[in-house]
Structures are given as C-alpha cells and as structure tokens.
Chain A
Amino acid sequence: MVSIGCVIKTPGNSKNNKTGSWRTFKPILDKEKCIDCDNCIIFCPDSSVNKQHDIDYDYCKGCGICANECPSDAIKMVKE
C-alpha cells in the first residue's frame, strides 16, 4: 500500500533513517575549548550539532566539517 501519488504527509520523517551508522570517524567536542562561534552548527550538513553544541550521533555521518571549521580546535575526529 502506498499513499495516493506517493505523497508523504509526515514532514521531516527522514529522521527515521539513522545515518550515524555511516560513520567511520567520530567528532568529539570539547566544550572547554569551545568559543561559541556556532560554525559547527551552521556548517553541519546533517543537523547533528544542537544549540548547546551536543553532537547527535544518530545522524552525524562523520564528515569532519565541524572539526575542520572549528576555530579553536575544540573538535577532534577519532576512529570509530
């Protein structure tokens, strides 16, 4: 059974798909070093850093952008 025209009426339900399983490297964020620039939030392609700078490993694909764009070296990428 599919919906008429395959219309999806559950906005944002791709959250069912936990892309964290794709990860081979994992970002570890050290809040001590954080200067609240929000780069990691703004540039994360997978909405995996929240306002408190906690990383959501359910979706984080481990791309490393956050670590690369962190001006204070607060994020390290470690092998899973």
Chain B
Amino acid sequence: MDIPDKDLLAPGHRGCAGCGASIAVKLALNTLGKNTVAISATGCLEVMTTPYPETSWEVPFIHVAFENSGAVASGVESALRIQGKDDVNVVAFGGDGGTVDIGLQSLSGAMERGHNMLYICYDNEAYMNTGIQRSGATPYGASTTTSPKGTASFGEDKPKKNMPMIMAAHGIPYVATASIAYPEDYVKKVKKAAETKGPAYIHLQQPCTTGWGFPSEKTIEMGRLAVETGSWILYEIDQGNFEITYRPEERRPVKDYLSTQKRFRHLNEEHIEKIQKYVDAECKELGL
C-alpha cells in the first residue's frame, strides 16, 4: 500500500488511544489526496478533530450538525461544481447514528439527487460520542447504555439495520462495505468510489475500544474477527454488480468474535446460537 509522506488527518486529535475512527478517516483522506473537501456529521470524529482553535484536518473541512451531513455535502458539491471545480473530491463522513438513524433522510436525498460525492459511514455500532447509546446499527445482543442487559433484557433485541442494501436500493453507481482491518480492500474501494461519477456509499465497520469493551491494541484484531466470522461481510455493488471482495478461508464461529467484547459478554449459549444462525443466513444470502 502507498504510504504518504504526511497523513491528511493530523495527529494531536482527541480520539481515544486505539481509536478506529481516526484510522478510517486517515486512510480515506490519504487515498483521496489533497484535492478533497471533507464534511462530517457531529459525532466522535468531529468532536475529536476540531476543538477550536485546533484542527486535525489538512484538507478543507466543514461540519454543521448531527443529522445533515448528506445535505451539507450536497450544498458543498453544488457550490464546487457550479464554479467549475469538477476535479475536487467531496467526501462526507457520518457515524452510524448520523447515517442510519437521524441522518438517513438527508443522506437518502443526497444519494437520490446524484451528487458526485462519496459518503463514508464509519460504523462503530452505537452513539459513542454521547456515551455508547444504541443506534439502528447496533447488532443483536449488544448491551449499550440505552439497550442495557438486565433481568428482563439481553441487550439490543433487533438485528442491525441493513444500511448498505438500503443505499443500494437507491440505484446509485457504487456501494461497498469495508473494514478498517482490511485496509487494501478499503482503500481500493475508496479509489473506485472517487473515480465513480455520481454518488458512492461505503459502509465501513470501525471497531471502538471504548464502546465495545476490548483492549485498545485489539482494534484491528476485532475488525478481522468480525469479517472472519462472517459477522461483517466485505462486498461491493459496482454499477449494480454484486461481488464479495474478501472470502474468509474458513468461517470461524461467531463466539470467537462475541466473547472478546464486553458488550456481548452477558450473552448465553442460546443467544449466541441465535446470532450464529442469523450470521449463517446472511452469509448464505450473500453467497459467502
């Protein structure tokens, strides 16, 4: 992989030690290059990178609110294009909350209108910035502060919203899933998305040491476990053509993934079996 002389997300940011979100953004920006304008929704990313008067962004950056990065990016893209700046990459980042929950409408509109932009959802599977509340992207069984385990609760009682497929249903030219643990695959997808004319969407799984409850050095390992167990599947839908971009040699049991995280530690065999079945079905459906 190409290593740049300087990362376009500067250090000194306030992300937790081992934060996967900064890895996600650094890799995307380095791939897109300096000729890029970035937009971010409110969330860990924005808060950790722009404590006035300091910014970690080496490229032009704008943040407005939590639920509108799709619309803000639409405005930015329109302003750049009307000025003839067709070669500038427009990339919007949103957390899972800012994307699959509160920002869904804004993003849907942006994708439908065909803006030439890339939207990356950095999915850490909960509202981390505000202290680990569940989102529509929180997986089945995960204990969060608003889907806590308890005497009458095993944590989140619904499976994760299938956001990449919702985006694919918009008929946009490029949709992909990715993981920070597979940087070559991710970077390839960012490149493809940037070369695509029109809207592109990448749904990136980003393990979070604080929210998931694992030691900081395991951020990448956790992403790998998600993919190796089939809990997170890497694929792309390029001009409507679906393709799995990474196949684990042999799928490991989901238990290997679940048992290493505090958010799942309360689950009993029955729950784990249910999750295994759910993952099996998903893998079967996508041909993994």
Q: Could you tell me which A residues sit within 8 Å of B by CB distance?
A: 2-3, 6, 8, 10-19, 22-23, 38, 41-48, 51, 56, 58-59, 61-65, 67-69, 77
Contacts and interface: CB of A to CB of B under 8 A. Distances in A.
A14 B11 CA distance: 6
A77 B23 CA distance: 20
Interface residues of B, number: 40
Interface string B212-225: 00011111110000
Contacts of B18: 45, 61, 63-65
B19 A14 contact: no
Contact of B3 (A16, A38, A68): A38
A46 B7 CA distance: 10
A13 B53 CA distance: 8
Interface of A is mostly: loop
Interface in B121-143: none
B12 A22 contact: no
A59 B12 contact: yes
Interface of B: 1, 3, 5, 7, 9-15, 17-20, 22-23, 26-27, 49-59, 180, 183, 209, 215-221
A35 B17 CA distance: 25
Contact of A8 (B3, B15, B27, B53): B53
Given A19-B12, A42-B3, A42-B183, A64 B57 contact: no
Nearest to A77: B217
30 contacts: A2-B52, A8-B50, A8-B52, A8-B54, A10-B53, A11-B58, A12-B56, A13-B54, A14-B49, A14-B54, A14-B55, A14-B56, A15-B10, A16-B12, A17-B12, A17-B54, A42-B183, A43-B183, A45-B19, A45-B22, A46-B13, A46-B15, A46-B22, A51-B5, A56-B11, A58-B11, A63-B216, A64-B18, A68-B218, A68-B221
